[in-house]
Amino acid sequence: MSTAEVWAEAARDDPRIYVACPLTCLDAKSQRQIKSDVLATKRAIESVTIGDRMEAERWLAVVYAPIDHTAPWKKDGLSPDEVYSRNLAEVHAADALIVIAENGGSTGVGQELEWAVRLGLPILYLTADQAISRQILGFIQAQAYGNDAQTLESHVKNFLRQWKPLILDGPRRRQSRELRYLAIGQRLRAAWEGCSNRTLVAAQVRVDVRYLELSLAHPSLLSVMPIETLVSLAHELEVDLASQAPRRVMCLPVPFLRALLAAAEADGWSDGDVERLMFHGRAAIERGEALDLATLAAWRALYDRL
C-alpha cells in the first residue's frame, strides 16, 4: 500500500491501532519472541473489539504492525525512505499506539513513540524487563509483562477498555485535524511546487529538503510541524498564514447543510455518513471543486464517490 493509499484509508470511520516493536539487529530467539508478542497483542485487540461480546458493543479496529509490512528480513525491496514514509503515515493515521519494547525498544520505536506523543494518541508501552526508563515513565503508561503472553494480553485489554471512548473518537479527530490544515497546506504546497530553488528554502528554514517534501504531502503531517519551522517556511515561500479563515473552513453555509440533511433524510444515510459528507464537502469547497452543494444531486454524487 502506498502512502497515498494509507491516507485514503485513514479517512474511513474505523479506529486504527498501531503496534510498534523492534525489528533491527534481532537474533533468531528475539525475532521469535517479538513475533509471538505481536500475535498476543493482536489476540487481545480482537478479544476486546470483536470478540464474544454483545453486538452493540463490537467495534472493528484496524491494526497496523510494521512487522507485517516492513520487517527487514522480508527482503521486500523497500528503500529506507519508503519504510520511513509508510510508517510515518500509518502512525498519523492511527488512533492509539501500542509499543512492544521487548528489552529496551529500538531507535525506530523511539521515533514512532515521539510521533504518537506529538499527535496526542493514547499510548501503551510494554516491556519484557521490569526496568523501564524513567523518561518513559514520566509521561507514558508503561507496563512490564516478563515475556508472559497472558500478562501482555491482560495489559493490552485493560488499555483498550480504558481508552475506548478516545480511540472510537479517533476517526473524527483525524478528519478534523486534516480539515484544519487543509487550506494552508494547499497554499504551502502550491508555493513549494512553484519554487525554483527548494534546496535554498530548506537551508533558510534549517531543515532537510526531504523533510519539507514529506511534511507538505498531507495536512496531518503539517499539523505537527514545529511552529518555528512552519512560520519560517511560510515566510520563505511568501505564504500568508493569517489568511486561512478557519471559520469558513469549518462551517458549511446553511443552504448546503439544508440540502445535505434533506438528502440524508430521503436516502436514509446514517449519522456517520452525514459527518463524513460534511468533512468531504468542506474539503471540496477548499479545493474549489465545481459542486453545487445547495442541491441534493451534488450531495448524492459526493456520496457515491466515497
Q: How many CB atoms lie within 10 A of CB 164?
A: 18
Q: What is the mean pLDDT of residues 265-271?
A: 87
Reported as a pLDDT band with limits 50, 70 and 90, residue 101 is confident
Helix (H, G, I), strand (E, B) or coil at 289: coil
Reported as a pLDDT band with limits 50, 70 and 90, residue 261 is confident
Q: Which CATH fold would you assign to the domain 3-168?
A: Rossmann fold (3.40.50)
pLDDT at position 105: 65
Q: What is the CA radius of gyration of the chain?
A: 21
Q: What is the mean pLDDT of residues 295-300?
A: 91
CB-based contacts of 128: which residues, under 8 Å, 6+ apart? 33, 37, 101, 102, 103, 144, 145, 146, 147
Q: What is the mean pLDDT of residues 87-94?
A: 92
Q: What is the mean pLDDT of residues 121-148?
A: 82
Q: What is the mean pLDDT of residues 161-178?
A: 89
E-strand ranges in 92-229 read: 96-100, 123-127, 141-144
pLDDT at position 247: 42
CB-based contacts of 164: which residues, under 8 Å, 6+ apart? 59
pLDDT at position 1: 66
Q: How many CB atoms lie within 10 A of CB 267?
A: 12
Q: What is the mean pLDDT of residues 87-92?
A: 91
Reported as a pLDDT band with limits 50, 70 and 90, residue 246 is very low
What residue ranges do the domains of the chain occupy?
A: 3-168, 172-244, 251-305
pLDDT in tens, 201-213: 999 999 999 999 9
pLDDT at position 156: 96
Asked whether the predicted pLDDT for residue 188 surpasses 70, the reply is yes
Q: Which of 22-31, 35-44, 52-61, 282-291 comes out lowest in average pLDDT?
A: 52-61
